Structure formats: structure tokens, C-alpha cells
């Protein structure tokens, strides 16, 4: 949902109203750059052994790979407002949420490589990331995040704990029964739950016009009396503004909210996706809204950064990613005997 680009005066007004500082925006820029570089580096390593013939089982990273290049602003805009005890439940496309929630990039990369040093000691892999310390989890099953985040929110409410739970999901997942069921339950029990629908236009290969009876999730949520926000998911400031209100009211015991973030993934649904369902021109069109240069331009407009500052932040992010991936690559694979442990505690 593209919104008019604000003038300098309006931008200053919006940023101030949102409580955003120079440091916060520079940090968002760095974080988004880190996610972007992380995803692109994973893609680079993923194709090792998978060219010229694409074989999912070959190379250092096995299995499916769903990357979130283009969707960084949603993750950062929301998660930068969360406390460590707040819960995030993510999806099959989880890296940007994990990094934004503070999951260690090295342990994350190591898990993606199936290494002993990974978050889950190589048992989960890219779609099944868990970090108890950061209160982060995800699921490879579409629609699973809604009720699980609601369960954490239920526990917070039960214990009188001022924490919130966030469920991320795609617009495809919003067709799942759990979406409607969870909205109903969350309102019924006034749960501190924020549902973030990342509408990236496609459920796997299915364009949203072919799967959604009406295009907007906020309309469905309003039917349950859930306060809802339609935001430009390619604009971290717009995401942040809505998330701030949603998270604050959930934390204050005023119940759930929904954020519908219109965004776009620049890469396929999964790596190896031939993308027959869209044109290159469409992808290029969305490049104009790339959330990272957009934030960079605004930082410059505000006089809060110049090209050198931005370049330094990107370089810093790159170094962090290189270190994380090197750690993953150099880490040992798990002992096969580990496969037989840990079913029960």
C-alpha cells in the first residue's frame, strides 16, 4: 500500500510523532542491511553444488530455502519495538524475523547449514528455528503461527505479565482457518496479541487475486472488532508507526491488533523457483520501493546521514554477516548419534 512520499517538513513531523530518533533510524538501516546481506549470502552459499543441475539435497545447505529479500522493513519495524520477553512466532520464511528479534546471526546461520553449533543443534534447519532465550520460534506449517502466539499471549494475560506476542504470517496464511479462529479468540479474551500479515502478493505461486475473496485482511479483522492498520510494508517508518500503537495497546491490556503490511519479495517463493507466475518487469517495478534505499534517502533528507554514513553501516552489516556465515561453515556437523536424542525431556 504505497503512500505519498512525505515532504521534509511532513517527514520530520511523522518521525517525531512516531517517537523515532536518528539513532533508531540508523539502527533500523543497519538491521535491514544486515538482513538483506544475510539473505543474499545464504542464497549464494545455497547454490553451491546446486548448479548447473538444481538438486535440493546437494551442497552445504540442503532442503528448501525461503528468503525474505524485500520484506526487511516489516520485520524491523515491528521487532524493534519488542522487549526480550515478548514472543515472536514466525513462518516458513523466518530469517528476517529472527534477526530482527535479536537471534544471533552466527547460531542462525549454523542452523541453516545444519551444524552442531546451530540454534537447534542442526535438528530444525531453516524452517524450524527456535531460540528460547530470545523467545523466538517458527513453523514450516502455514497458518500455525496465529494460535501459538495467541497461546503465549494467553499465558501473559493469565500471569498479569506486561508482554505481548506477535504472530507473523503471509497473506496466504490468512486464508487458513486458524486466522479467523485466532482473531475470534484473541478478541474474546482480550489477548496481548499482534498479528502481522505480510502481504507479499503471492501464496507460493498463487497470486492473491486467485486466492483471496477480498484483497485486504484488515477488512476481515475489523469484522471481529480487531483494531487494524494497513501499512506500506516497504516503508519501515510506516510499519513502525502502526506497530508502536498496536504493541502499546496490547501491552496496556487493551487487546489484540492486526497490521496488514503490503510488501514484496524480490526472490522466488523458494530458491529454485522459476517464477512463471510473475514477470521480471513487475519485480523491477517494486525495486523502486526497495525499503533500504528508501530509508537511506529519508535519512539523507532529514540530514541524519550522508552517503558515507550509510555505506559504513552497510559495510558493518556485511562484516557481521561474513563472520556469521564463516562461523557456520567452519562449525562441525552433528554426531549422527544425536538424531536419537531429545524426543522427550
Phi/psi for 319 (5° steps) reads -60, -40
Give the helix/strand (H/E) hosting 15: helix 8-17
Distance CA 314, CA 86 (A): 28
Among 32, 68, 119, 230, binds another protein (CB under 8 A): 119
CB of 8 to another protein, least distance (A): 44
Which is it for strands 87-90 and 165-170: parallel, antiparallel or unpaired? parallel
Interface with another protein, residue 64, by CB under 8 A: no
Among 38, 154, 218, 240, binds another protein (CB under 8 A): 154
CB of 156 to another protein, least distance (A): 7
Among 77, 94, 114, 122, binds another protein (CB under 8 A): 122
Planar angle of CA 110, 115, 117, nearest 5 degrees: 70
Among 23, 132, 281, 337, binds another protein (CB under 8 A): 132
CB of 157 to another protein, least distance (A): 9
Name the residue among 184, 158, 236, 193 with its Cα closest to residue 86.
193
Interface with another protein, residue 139, by CB under 8 A: yes
Interface with another protein, residue 280, by CB under 8 A: no
Name the residue among 126, 173, 164 with its Cα closest to residue 145.
173
Interface with another protein, residue 135, by CB under 8 A: yes
Query: How many CB atoms lie under 10 A from the CB of residue 266?
Result: 18
Interface with another protein, residue 175, by CB under 8 A: no
Cell of 114: 545444519
Interface with another protein, residue 141, by CB under 8 A: yes
CB of 273 to another protein, least distance (A): 24
Query: Exposure pattern of 218-231 as b/e (b: 16+ CB <10 Å)?
Result: bebbeebebbbbbb
Nearer Cβ to another protein, position 71 or 135? 135
Contact 231, 142 (CB under 8 A): no
Task: Count residues binding another protein (CB under 8 A).
Answer: 46
Q: Is the peptide bond before 52 cis (omega within 30 degrees of 0)?
A: yes
Interface with another protein, residue 113, by CB under 8 A: no
Interface with another protein, residue 296, by CB under 8 A: no
Which residues form the interface with another protein (CB under 8 A)? Answer: 87, 89, 118-124, 128, 130-132, 135, 137, 139, 141, 143-144, 146-156, 158-159, 165, 177-178, 181-182, 184-185, 188-189, 341-345
Amino acid at each position: 500500500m504505497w503512500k505519498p512520499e512525505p515532504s521534509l517538513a511532513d517527514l520530520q513531523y511523522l518521525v517525531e510523532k512516531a517517537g523515532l530518533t536518528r539513532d533508531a533510524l540508523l539502527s533500523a538501516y543497519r538491521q535491514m542491511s544486515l538482513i538483506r546481506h544475510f539473505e543474499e549470502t545464504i542464497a549464494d552459499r545455497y547454490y553451491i553444488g546446486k548448479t548447473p543441475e538444481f538438486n535440493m539435497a546437494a551442497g552445504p545447505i540442503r532442503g528448501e530455502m525461503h528468503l525474505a529479500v524485500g520484506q526487511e522493513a516489516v520485520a524491523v519495524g515491528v521487532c524493534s519495538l519488542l522487549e526480550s520477553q515478548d514472543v515472536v512466532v514466525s513462518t516458513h520464511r523466518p530469517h528476517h524475523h529472527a534477526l530482527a528479534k535479536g537471534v544471533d546471526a552466527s547460531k542462525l546461520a549454523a542452523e541453516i547449514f545444519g551444524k552442531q553449533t546451530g540454534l537447534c543443534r542442526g535438528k530444525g534447519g531453516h524452517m524450524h528455528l527456535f531460540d528460547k532465550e530470545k523467545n523466538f520460534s517458527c513453523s514450516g506449517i502455514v497458518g500455525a503461527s496465529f494460535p501459538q502466539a495467541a497461546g503465549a499471549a494467553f499465558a501473559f494475560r493469565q500471569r498479569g505479565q506486561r508482554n505481548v506476542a506477535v504472530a507473523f504470517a503471509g497473506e496466504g496464511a490468512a486464508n487458513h482457518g486458524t486466522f479467523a479462529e485466532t482473531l475470534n479468540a484473541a478478541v474474546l479474551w482480550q489477548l496481548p496479541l499482534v498479528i502481522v500479515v505480510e502481504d507479499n502478493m503471492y501464496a507460493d505461486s498463487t497470486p492473491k487475486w486467485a486466492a483471496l475473496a477480498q484483497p485486504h485482511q484488515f477488512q476481515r479483522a475489523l469484522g471481529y472488532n480487531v483494531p487494524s492498520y494497513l501499512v506500506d510494508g516497504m516503508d519501515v517508518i510506516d510499519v513502525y508507526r502502526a506497530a508502536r500503537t498496536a504493541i502499546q495497546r496490547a501491552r496496556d491490556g487493551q487487546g489484540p491488533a492486526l497490521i496488514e503490511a503490503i510488501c514484496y519479495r524480490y526472490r522466488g517463493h523458494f530458491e529454485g523457483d522459476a517464477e512463471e507466475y510473475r514477470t521480471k518487469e513487475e519485480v523491477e517495478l517494486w525495486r523502486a520501493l526497495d525499503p533500504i534505499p528508501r530509508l537511506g534517502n529519508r535519512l539523507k533528507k532529514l540530514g541524519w546521514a550522508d552517503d558515507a554514513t550509510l555505506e559504513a553501516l552497510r559495510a558493518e552489516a556485511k562484516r557481521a554477516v561474513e563472520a556469521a556465515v564463516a562461523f557456520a561453515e567452519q562449525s562441525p556437523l552433528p554426531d549422527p548419534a544425536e538424531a536419537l536424542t531429545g524426543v522427550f525431556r
